[in-house]
Structure 1
Amino acid sequence: MIEARNEPTQQEREAADWFTRLLNPPVENEDLEAFQAWRRNPDNLAAYNRIEDISRLALSLQDDPDMRAIAHAARQRRAPAPPPWHRNMLSKARQRWAVGIAITGLVAASVIVWKLTAPTYSTDIGRQTVAELPDGTRVRLNTDTALKVRFDNGLRRVELLRGQAFFDVAHDHAHPFVVVAGDTEVRALGTRFDVRRADGGAKVVLAEGKVAVTERGSRSAAWTLEPGQTLTTGRRNVAPAPVPTDLAVATGWTEGRVSFRATPLEDAVDEINRYSRDKVILSADVPAHTRVNGDFAIGKPMEFVTAMTTLYGLKADRRLGGDIELKAPEG
């Protein structure tokens, strides 16, 4: 683990200073010569390489919530006075930016290391898996899902990067269990719940226990769900609110099936397509809002297609590549 320090070393300050100068052309020949002389010192070169590595990795994680928090903290810092050897070399703005890199980089490095080494669990399209976390929590990952796990500082934290997962949380009142899905955070203690990332937000279904759900930027502080309720965040112009849900339908995927109850055909097709690389496609002449009912095996799109052709008289044509198009009956 990288140990965070409050202040950078002199070499780290100088390395950040040179890094900033070289990013802002034009660079004079005398400056390049001075840089080459400075980096001949192995300790200086090592410090400069660390700054480069931190900058490159931070750029790759620039949209990550933890990195955004670090960047915000850096902007709030007041830069100390630059050392005499380079006081006249940089503008004031450049000085503040350089020192900010050196100070913040030490903290960012620890976050970057976690981002690159935290335990990651994932599934491919059409696959599911069950993972047991270090605390005994069992997580079932649905199709095309990825999550990262971080347990430290008394907090059990899981980041749902994409897809859907069902959590059977081990009881540990001293260590809260938190699932982060984009701007949505679900906090629980000994409970069973489902989280799915979708449409820029998340859908949370509570099967057992209690959870508190928050959404960054929302006017509401938090929502508390009771068993049998669901909450969807991230929908524009729709205020999130807990509503009753059919648990058998909402969590049917954990038993290998998808269930539809008066579901619009276009939505049913989208759900079926999550589990197969061969997609079902609705022709423009098919009534997309036709209501669909039934339970279908996951990963078997032909079972769904056969039901649609039988019940609604649709025609199925297989395309090159494996996709299946549903068309309205002729005549």
Structure 2
Amino acid sequence: MPVKRATRTQHRRHEEAADWLLRQSGTALDPTEQAAFETWLEHDPENRRVYEVARRLMGEASAAIRSDPMLQASDRSPHSMAKPLLGCLLALAIAGAAFMLMDGPMRFRADAIAGVGELPVVTLADGSRVQLNASSAIAFDETDDHRTVRLLRGEALFEVARDPMRPFVVEVGDLRVTALGTAFDVRLGTDATDVVVTQHAVRIDFADDQHPSLRVTEGERAVIDERTGRSEIAESDTALALAWTRGQLVLDNTPLSQVVTEMNRHFSGRIVVLSQELAQRRVSGTMTISDTQAALNFVERALGVSTNRIGPVIVIRN
């Protein structure tokens, strides 16, 4: 339950920050609104942080729009309101598009983001280290009595600094992964969450009361189905599971659809599979995931398929 409450709180905060930004676009707040806005900012330090992130992102786009001479040249006579209105609508559309292109919605929520093809290492205030897979994102919060990281997208390897007085918890979807003096990898997939423990152990708790907690120890892997909550724990080769940290991907009878999902983390365009039947074909072996062309060559040889590039899109077909 705590995970769901936290998620609703985060969403409400983002909506409130966006609402205050819209209220201030073009006109100043009246004294009553200004007082309410300042009260909202002071209510929670996180309110101010989220608002500043959104303001910075939208401000960059708005500054570019204001400097555009074509938009500034609109006829502002009282008899012609169509052009200024059209200019405002165009400005809003451009700002919205820029916000999406800059990954604004995720930057709104995240404290650290890995770009396409990046594998950055983030050191938290407590000394814990987090290595992000490409196109992954996290948010983190530390207080005197807890350390919480939210995996918002992708995959991350956690090396936890010892602090018996403050539990280290990774929230991913409706799951809470608590470190028991450990190092572990968490991957948020489309249909399932994977947790691989490389040192010591973790405890996995569910948001509802229908599933018991899981204990996963060193050398084990837990796979939890997001839809049903069903889980499976099995032995895992941790060196192979963490091959992504070396720019590699180890495949064992893996569907092509899953391979393409990983490839897209490292490609600035989009890789698509032409048919569902082809997407379900299985691949085994080791590929260099950090090199898109090398990865495509591997898939072509392994499955006897062809690839075609159309601008920023690569199509895989029989």
State the TM-score, normalized to the length of structure 1.
0.62
Matches of 1:308 and 1:206, distance apart in 2: 29
Which amino acid in 2 is paired with 1:269? V
Which amino acid in 2 is paired with 1:256? G
Matches of 1:148 and 1:240, distance apart in 2: 25
Matches of 1:113 and 1:49, distance apart in 2: 10
Q: Which runs of 5+ in 2 are unaligned?
A: 1-29, 53-108
Q: 1:122-142 deviations in whole A, cap 9, x for unaligned?
A: 111221101111111111011
Aligned residues: 234
Return closer, same or farther for 1:238/1:159 CA change in 2, 3 Å cut-off: closer
Q: 2:230 maps to what in 1?
A: 239
In structure 2, which of residues 134, 149, 159 is the aligned counterpart of residue 143 of structure 1? 134
Which amino acid in 2 is paired with 1:323? V
Q: 1:325 maps to what in 2?
A: 315
Q: Give 3-state SS (helix, strand or coil) of 2:240's partner.
A: helix
Q: 1:215 maps to what in 2?
A: 206
Return closer, same or farther for 1:149/1:318 CA change in 2, 3 Å cut-off: same
Larger Rg: 1
Q: 1:112 maps to what in 2?
A: 47
Q: 1:146: how far off? A: 1.6
Contact 2:117 2:265 in 1 (8 A): yes
Contact 2:121 2:131 in 1 (8 A): yes
Which amino acid in 2 is paired with 1:154? D
Matches within 5 A, 1:44-193: 47-50=35-38, 53=40, 106=43, 109-110=44-45, 112-113=47-48, 120-193=111-184
Q: Give 3-state SS (helix, strand or coil) of 2:307's partner.
A: strand
Q: 2:255 maps to what in 1?
A: 264
State the TM-score, normalized to the length of structure 2.
0.65
Q: 1:99-128 deviations in whole A, cap 9, x for unaligned?
A: xxxxxx95xx35534666898111112211
Contact 2:283 2:303 in 1 (8 A): no
Which amino acid in 2 is paired with 1:179? V
Contact 1:184 1:233 in 2 (8 A): no
Contact 1:140 1:167 in 2 (8 A): yes
Q: 1:250 maps to what in 2?
A: 241
Q: Which runs of 5+ in 1 are unaligned?
A: 1-39, 55-104
Which amino acid in 2 is paired with 1:310? R
Which amino acid in 1 is paired with 2:285? G
**Identity value in percent:** 28
In structure 1, which of residues 290, 302, 316 is the aligned counterpart of residue 293 of structure 2? 302
Q: Give 3-state SS (helix, strand or coil) of 1:272's partner.
A: helix
Matches of 2:296 and 2:240, distance apart in 1: 20
Return closer, same or farther for 1:242/1:116 CA change in 2, 3 Å cut-off: farther
| RMSD of aligned residue pairs (Cα, Å) | 2.9
